[in-house]
Amino acid sequence: MTTEQPPEHPPAPETAAPTCYRHPGRETYVRCTRCDRPICPDCMREAAVGHQCVECVAAGRKSVRQPRTALGARAARRSAPVVTYTLIGLCVLAYLAEIASDRVVDDFAMIGLVRDRAGLPVPGIGVAEGEWYRLFTSMFLHQPPTGGPFGITHILFNMWALWAVGPQLEQVLGRWRFLALYLLSGLGGSVLLYLVAPGTAAVGASGAIFGLFGAFFVIGRKLGIPSGPILFVVGLNLVITFGAGSAISWQAHIGGLVVGLVLAAVFAYAPAKSRQAVQIAGVAAMTVLLAALVAVKTVQLV
């Protein structure tokens, strides 16, 4: 009697261990909880449940909505006021250049038109003669140490004011809005001086600083911050402005203040649904208005 042997079964094939999708040479049994791809320890990122791969973590961050301030700027907890510090640095560098050369103030101060003794325009000098850059460069210059009644205190006060209010405004406005506010406020001061007293030479960041003061007031009202302290600062500076006579250009201060108030109102009260578009349109409209005023005045002068 023969005994039947059970049929032999072939051995089961060995299953290859999974490898990391980013590092094929590394075996791993851990998978991304989001895309289910195998990941090695170098590619693991802790998640609420399990681990995720680096690509899924990056995609998840992009889908998270960036928090913003009440005026539309990105809410950054520890963002350095880069624009404020850069503006201060530019003013300090310009001041050092003034000390090194007397021609810096002559070549870059705000002056609309220079006339000779016969009342004729001096060719090539002034905004009306094509030196439009003076409208901007003058806001980075200040009285040299021996160049006027205020001397070095001129730049010291302006830089202290910029350091005091600049970082707060830059944080709530964001960098591009804050920079636009500063430059257009300074330009507004130069334009008003050009319209009212084109033959008067002036230097200083005071127009831009007054614009920041005005913006601080408007934005403070919007956010419910007490406005008494900033009103006191503005009022005191206006008293000094008009009490100093011709030593201080009241046109630059008032022009900067008005532009700062208007731009801050646009930034603060733009409707939420179209906030950025309205804010950009407000900056563009102010730029066009100031440029048009300069053009009209130039035609009258030349």
- For the segment 131-137, the average pLDDT, to the nearest whole number, is 95
Total of domains in the chain: 1
The whole-number pLDDT of residue 149 equals: 64
The C-alpha atoms of residue 142 and residue 148 are separated, in whole angstroms, by 10
The whole-number pLDDT of residue 214 equals: 94
Q: Which two tokens stand for residue 7?
A: 């049929």
* Beta-ladder partners of 38: 31
More confident of the two residues 147 and 202: 202
- For the segment 102-122, the average pLDDT, to the nearest whole number, is 86
For the CA atoms of 268, 271, 272, 274, the dihedral, rounded to the nearest 10 degrees, stands at -120
Active site includes 154?
A: no
Q: What is the mean pLDDT of the chain?
A: 85
Catalytic residue among 206, 227, 249, 274: 206
The C-alpha atoms of residue 78 and residue 99 are separated, in whole angstroms, by 36
- For the segment 9-32, the average pLDDT, to the nearest whole number, is 76
Catalytic residue among 51, 142, 154, 253: 253
Residue 46 phi/psi, 5° resolution?
A: -65, 135
Q: Which two tokens stand for residue 170?
A: 């830059």
- For the segment 149-170, the average pLDDT, to the nearest whole number, is 89
The answer to whether position 23 is within a domain reads: no
- For the segment 128-136, the average pLDDT, to the nearest whole number, is 94
The answer to whether position 193 is within a domain reads: yes
Please give the C-alpha separations between residue 212 and each of 80, 98, 111, 179, 281, in angstroms, as whole numbers: 18, 25, 23, 10, 20
The pLDDT-based confidence of 3 (bands split at 50, 70, 90) is low
For the chain, give the percent of residues with pLDDT over 70: 87
The C-alpha atoms of residue 153 and residue 144 are separated, in whole angstroms, by 10
The answer to whether position 146 is within a domain reads: yes
More confident of the two residues 292 and 230: 292
The answer to whether position 114 is within a domain reads: yes
202 in Cβ contact with 193 (< 8 Å):
yes
Residue 98 has pLDDT above 60, yes or no: yes
CATH number where 127 lies:
1.20.1540.10
* Beta-ladder partners of 121: 115
The whole-number pLDDT of residue 116 equals: 79
The answer to whether position 48 is within a domain reads: no
Active site includes 206?
A: yes
The answer to whether position 283 is within a domain reads: yes
The answer to whether position 74 is within a domain reads: no
The answer to whether position 276 is within a domain reads: yes
Q: What is the 3-state secondary structure (H, E, C) of the chain?
A: CCCCCCCCCCCCCCCCCCECCCCCCCECCCECCCCCCECCHHHCEECCCCEECHHHHHHHHHHCCCCECCCCCECCCCCCCHHHHHHHHHHHHHHHHHHHCCHHHHHHCECCCCECCCCCECCCCCHHHCCCCHHHHHHHCCCCCCCCCCCCHHHHHHHHHHHHHHHHHHHHHCHHHHHHHHHHHHHHHHHHHHHHCCCCCECCCHHHHHHHHHHHHHHHHHHCCCCHHHHHHHHHHHHHHHHCHHHCCHHHHHHHHHHHHHHHHHHHHCCHHHHHHHHHHHHHHHHHHHHHHHHHHHHHHC
Whole domain around residue 219: which residue ranges?
82-301
| CA dihedral (176, 178, 184, 190) positive or negative | negative
Residue 9 has pLDDT above 80, yes or no: no
Please give the C-alpha separations between residue 141 and each of 119, 136, 144, 187, 210, in angstroms, as whole numbers: 28, 10, 9, 13, 16
The pLDDT-based confidence of 238 (bands split at 50, 70, 90) is confident
More confident of the two residues 3 and 136: 136
Give residue-wise pLDDT tens across range 36-88: 888 888 888 887 777 888 888 888 776 655 566 656 666 555 578 999 999 99
Note the pTM of the prediction, 2 decimals. 0.76
